[in-house]
Amino acid sequence: MKKHIQSLLLVSPVSLLIAGCASVKVDDFDSIQKYTLTNENGMVVKITNYGATITSIQVPDRDGTMADVALGYNDVSDYINAVDRPYFGSVVGRYGNRIGKGEFTIDGESYQVSLNNNGNHLHGGFMGFDKIVWSAEVLKDGIKLSYLAKDGEEGYPGNLALSVVYTLTNQNEIVMHYQASSDKATPVNVTNHTYFNLAGEGSGSINGHQLQIHSSVYTPVDAGLIPTGELRQVAGTPFDFRSAKPIGRDVEADDKQLKFGLGYDHNWVLDRKGPGMELAATLYEPNSGRVLEVYTEEPAIQFYGGNFLDGRLIGKSGKVYAHRTGLCLETQHSPDSVNQPSWPSVILRPGETYDTTSIYKFSTNPLITQ
């Protein structure tokens, strides 16, 4: 496997407007870099240490034609300035997904984290991990990105030392290994927010992709997309992806949950056999034959269907990112778990190591035709 530092991104050190919050000075531009991982099959994955962001994933279709299946930009200043902050390709945290009213209690101590999403907390707040320049270390078979989040940052307790190692294997897998430790008990729920379009970024709707999620229950939400606490059976609902089906089949069904999410923007609790790495979801695009399998050690997955993409963002190849032209499969603990004591714990305590891996494996299916 080859890998190399491809280029230094040149961005002038000025104040830049971050959507959803005030003008923020990003003064660490000199250390922003791009890395390229390639494997024996010609698969190429590009990463920047700004937000630990995957900026490009080039994989072959069933005829060997390459396409970039990850939405994103060419220039880091576009990531910094993106309208409505889509979190293209980045690591989100310290708590990925939402915390209701940004409030939680640990060991009798109450905390208020920043409210950056309609009175709730989303993806770590105004300066979440997607807005941070991470330290980078080139490893033998991948890239290690590290960040020390300070005690009190965005309201979270504890200095959190976090790393993610991205590895590209010759089996066309992107392996994402996260590790963290903290000097105070703190909630941690990091995930990667890549938007996939297996026909190629900018090539149109993802509604024809077929999706299978190995889950019998999902977490219904309120109008602010905070789980109500109920675990609802998917059987007989538009949320039933236990067998593969085109995403567009039920997305416009008359369903209150779909109205809240403007489509699919929900969390499925995986039907696990036990702890460890298991297949969570399979995505298939019939025209190209490209397949993405998502494996994880996490208990749940957020399927977000790109409902907030509205055509205002222009991607790296000059194409408009219209409504539902990319989708995220975010391995994680369910949103607001920090306020749901009966759900798997998201609290990392001093002396413990947060350690979780997810794998995004690409292949093609030559047998199934539309």
By the 8 A CB rule, do 288 and 61 touch? Answer: yes
Nearest approach, Cβ of residue 154 and ligand GLA (Å): 16
Q: Among 143, 211, 131, which residue's Cα sits nearest to residue 174?
A: 143
Q: Which is nearer to ligand GLA, 14 or 19 (by Cβ)? A: 19
Q: With b meaning 16 or more CB within 10 Å and e meaning fewer, what string describes 53-66?
A: bbbbbbbbbbeeee
Q: Among 139, 200, 212, 191, which residue's Cα sits nearest to residue 330?
A: 191
From 121, 193, 209, 214, active-site residue = 193
For residue 112 the two structure tokens come to 């208020």
Secondary structure letter of residue 141 according to DSSP:
S
By the 8 A CB rule, do 83 and 71 touch? Answer: no
Among 113, 213, 225, 294, binds ligand GLA (CB under 6 A): 225
Q: Which is nearer to ligand GLA, 120 or 182 (by Cβ)? A: 120
Identify the helix (H) or strand (E) that includes residue 259: helix 256-261
Which listed range, 34-42, 75-83, 300-308, 315-323, lies at the site for ligand GLA (CB under 6 A)?
300-308
Per-residue interface string for the shown chain with ligand GLA, residues 87-126, x marking contact by CB under 6 A: x----------------------------------x----
Told to judge if 330 belongs to the known catalytic residues of this protein, a careful annotator would answer yes
Q: Does 302 bind ligand GLA (CB under 6 A)?
A: yes
Q: Which is nearer to ligand GLA, 67 or 122 (by Cβ)? A: 122
143/152 Cα distance (integer angstroms): 28
Q: Does 337 bind ligand GLA (CB under 6 A)?
A: no
115/157 Cα distance (integer angstroms): 16
Q: Does 269 bind ligand GLA (CB under 6 A)?
A: no
Which listed range, 172-180, 293-301, 302-310, 358-366, lies at the site for ligand GLA (CB under 6 A)?
302-310
Secondary structure letter of residue 320 according to DSSP:
B
Told to judge if 193 belongs to the known catalytic residues of this protein, a careful annotator would answer yes
338/348 Cα distance (integer angstroms): 11
Q: Which is nearer to ligand GLA, 35 or 241 (by Cβ)? A: 241
Q: Does 260 bind ligand GLA (CB under 6 A)?
A: no
Residues that bind ligand GLA (CB under 6 A): 86-87, 122, 225, 265, 302, 304, 308, 328, 330
Residues designated as active site: 193, 330
